[in-house]
C-alpha cells in the first residue's frame, strides 16, 4: 500500500488526504491544530465558481496612487513591511499585464470550473449540506461607473464560460435584502457560487469524512519533516516518529519557509486579512461584498462576519485593526450589524503566488516530496479540485486538467533567470 504524510490540515490538505485515501493510500494528516483553524477558517465562506480569472494587480496609476496614500480600504500596507513584499509584488505586477494575465486566466478557469463539482462530492459524502447554500452572493456598488464596469466584465465571463448572474437595481437589491438602509446604485448577484455558514466547520466535516475512510489525523510540527533512511519521509508527532513513502507540503503561507530547508526558493505574496463576528443586529440573506470599501459582510452561524481585504505587514507584525475598523464603519451605514462577538478579531494570511497560479506537483530534486500550496484567495474554493489533481499525479493517473501551468519547476527556473517570465 502506498503511503503519504500530508502537512497541513486546511481545506487544501484535507482534500488531498481524502482523494489519496479514496485511491487506497495509507494517509496521515498532520497539523499543529485541529483541521480548518487557520486560513481555511477565516474566509468569507464563498465557494467562488464565478472567479474564473485570478485577481490582477492594477496598472492604473490613479488606483496605485490611492493605495500608496491610503485612500482605499481593500489594500493597505506598512512602509516598514515593503522590504519583505517588494520582490514578489513586482513579479505579481509583471504577471498582471494583459497577455500574461490572460495565460494565467486560461489555466485558472480549468480548475475553478471544477470547484462546485468536487465540493458536491465531498459535501454529499460528509453530510455537510446543513452548512451550505447554493444561491450565490451579491456585490453592492456605490457609483454608477463602477457598476457599469462590473456588468461589462460579468458579460465577458458569461460569454466565455456561461456563468450566470443578475444585474440588480438599487430597489431590487433593497427588496432582496430588506435590512439594508443603503443599497447604493445597485449590484450584481452571482447566482451559482455556494456560500458556507461555517467555513471551518465545513473543513472539519471533510476531515471527519477522511477519518471515516480510514485516514489518521495527528498533531505535530511540520518543521520536523526530514528524509528517512528508508528512502521516504518522516515527521515527529505527539505519538512519536512517523514515516511514509511520500510527503505533501500543503502548509499555505508557511510552505516556502519549510522548503527553504531543502534548497527551494518560492517567492510568495502574503496578504494578511482580518475578520470579526457581530451578533444581535439585522441579518443579511446572502453574503454581500461592498466593492467600494473592500470587505465582505457574510451571515455565519456565529453572527455576521466582516472580512477585510489585503494588508501587507512585516512577518509576525502586530495587528493593525485600521482596515477592519473602516470596514465595520462602512457596514454600519448599510445595516445594524450588532455587537462584536469575539474580544479580539481573527487574523490570517492568504498565500498568493506572483503568477497567480497555485504550485501543484512533485519537488524537482527530491523523490517522494510533493508540493500543493499558493491558492491565494481561493484555497477554500479550490482545495477539493487541486487535491484531486495532485492525487492523480501521485497515483500515476491521467490528470483531470493539464498540470503543466502549476508545476513547481516554473519558480525554480525563475531563480536562475533575470527574466521573471521564464
In the predicted model, what is the mean pLDDT of the chain?
A: 93
Output the pLDDT for position 413.
64
Output the pLDDT for position 422.
26
What's 1-56+98-129+195-268+353-422's CATH class?
alpha beta
Whether 420 has a pLDDT exceeding 90, the answer reads no
Output the pLDDT for position 34.
87
Query: Of 37-46, 155-164, 244-253, 365-374, which gets the smallest average pLDDT?
Result: 37-46
Contact 194, 119 (CB under 8 A): yes
Dist. CA 300–CA 193, nearest whole Å = 16
Mean pLDDT computed over 159-172? 97
Using pLDDT thresholds of 50, 70 and 90, give the confidence band for residue 140. Answer: very high
Report in angstroms the alpha-carbon separations of 418 from 55, 72, 366, 413, 422.
Answer: 25, 33, 25, 10, 8
Using pLDDT thresholds of 50, 70 and 90, give the confidence band for residue 418. Answer: very low
Dist. CA 346–CA 413, nearest whole Å = 37
Residue pLDDT, tens place only, 261-270: 999 999 999 9
Whether 280 has a pLDDT exceeding 70, the answer reads yes
Residue pLDDT, tens place only, 391-411: 999 999 999 999 999 999 999
End-to-end CA distance of the chain: 39
3-state secondary structure of 310: strand
Q: The whole model's pTM is what?
A: 0.94
Residue pLDDT, tens place only, 63-95: 888 777 777 888 988 888 889 899 999 999 999
Scanning the structure block, which residue is given the C-alpha cell 490528470? 399
Whether 312 has a pLDDT exceeding 90, the answer reads yes
Residue pLDDT, tens place only, 281-291: 999 999 999 99
Output the pLDDT for position 419.
32
Output the pLDDT for position 117.
97
Q: How large is the angle between the packed helices 199-212 and 115-126, nearest 10 degrees?
A: 70
Closest C-alpha to 300, from 197, 177, 204:
197
**H helix runs in 113-143, sequence order:** 115-126
Residue pLDDT, tens place only, 345-372: 999 999 999 999 999 999 999 999 999 9
Mean pLDDT computed over 28-55? 90
Dist. CA 307–CA 203, nearest whole Å = 18
CA-CA-CA-CA dihedral for 20, 9, 212, 18, to nearest 10 = -20
Output the pLDDT for position 316.
84
Mean pLDDT computed over 246-274? 96
Amino acid at each position: 500500500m502506498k503511503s503519504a504524510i500530508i502537512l497541513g490540515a486546511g481545506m487544501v490538505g484535507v482534500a488531498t488526504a481524502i482523494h489519496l485515501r479514496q485511491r487506497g493510500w495509507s494517509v496521515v494528516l498532520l497539523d499543529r491544530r485541529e483541521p480548518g483553524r487557520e486560513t481555511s477558517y477565516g474566509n468569507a465562506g464563498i465557494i467562488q465558481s464565478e472567479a474564473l480569472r485570478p485577481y490582477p494587480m492594477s496598472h492604473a496609476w490613479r488606483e496605485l496612487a490611492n493605495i500608496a496614500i491610503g485612500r482605499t480600504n481593500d489594500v493597505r500596507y506598512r512602509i516598514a513591511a515593503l522590504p519583505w513584499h517588494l520582490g514578489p509584488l513586482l513579479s505579481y505586477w509583471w504577471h498582471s499585464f494583459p497577455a500574461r494575465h490572460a495565460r494565467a486566466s486560461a489555466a485558472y478557469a480549468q480548475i475553478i470550473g471544477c470547484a462546485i463539482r468536487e465540493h458536491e462530492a465531498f459535501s454529499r459524502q460528509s453530510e455537510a449540506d446543513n452548512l451550505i447554500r447554493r444561491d450565490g452572493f451579491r456585490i453592492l456598488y456605490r457609483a454608477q461607473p463602477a457598476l457599469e464596469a462590473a456588468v461589462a466584465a460579468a458579460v465577458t465571463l458569461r460569454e466565455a464560460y456561461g456563468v450566470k448572474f443578475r444585474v440588480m437595481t438599487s430597489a431590487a437589491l433593497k427588496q432582496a435584502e430588506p435590512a439594508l438602509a443603503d443599497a447604493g446604485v445597485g449590484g450584481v448577484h452571482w447566482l451559482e457560487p455556494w456560500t458556507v455558514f461555517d467555513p471551518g466547520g465545513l473543513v472539519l466535516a471533510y476531515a471527519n469524512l477522511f477519518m471515516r475512510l480510514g485516514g489518521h489525523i495527528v498533531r505535530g510540527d511540520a518543521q520536523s519533516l526530514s528524509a528517512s533512511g528508508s528512502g521516504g519521509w518522516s515527521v515527529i508527532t505527539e505519538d512519536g516518529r512517523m514515516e511514509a513513502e511520500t510527503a505533501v507540503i500543503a502548509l499555505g503561507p508557511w510552505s516556502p519557509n519549510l522548503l527553504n530547508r531543502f534548497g527551494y526558493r518560492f517567492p510568495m505574496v502574503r496578504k494578511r486579512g482580518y475578520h470579526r463576528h457581530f451578533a444581535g443586529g439585522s441579518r443579511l440573506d446572502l453574503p454581500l461584498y461592498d466593492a467600494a470599501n473592500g470587505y465582505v459582510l457574510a451571515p455565519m452561524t456565529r453572527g455576521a462576519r466582516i472580512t477585510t481585504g489585503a494588508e501587507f505587514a512585516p512577518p509576525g507584525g502586530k495587528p493593525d485593526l485600521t482596515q477592519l475598523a473602516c470596514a465595520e464603519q462602512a457596514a454600519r451605514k448599510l445595516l445594524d450589524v450588532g455587537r462584536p462577538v469575539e474580544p479580539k478579531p481573527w487574523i490570517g494570511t492568504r498565500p498568493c503566488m506572483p503568477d497567480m497560479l497555485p504550485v501543484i506537483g512533485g519537488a524537482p530534486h527530491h523523490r517522494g516530496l510533493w508540493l500543493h500550496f499558493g491558492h491565494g484567495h481561493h484555497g477554500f474554493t479550490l482545495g477539493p479540485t487541486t487535491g484531486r489533481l495532485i492525487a492523480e499525479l501521485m497515483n500515476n493517473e491521467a490528470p483531470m486538467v493539464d498540470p503543466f501551468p502549476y508545476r513547481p519547476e516554473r519558480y525554480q527556473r525563475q531563480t536562475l533567470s533575470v527574466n521573471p517570465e521564464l
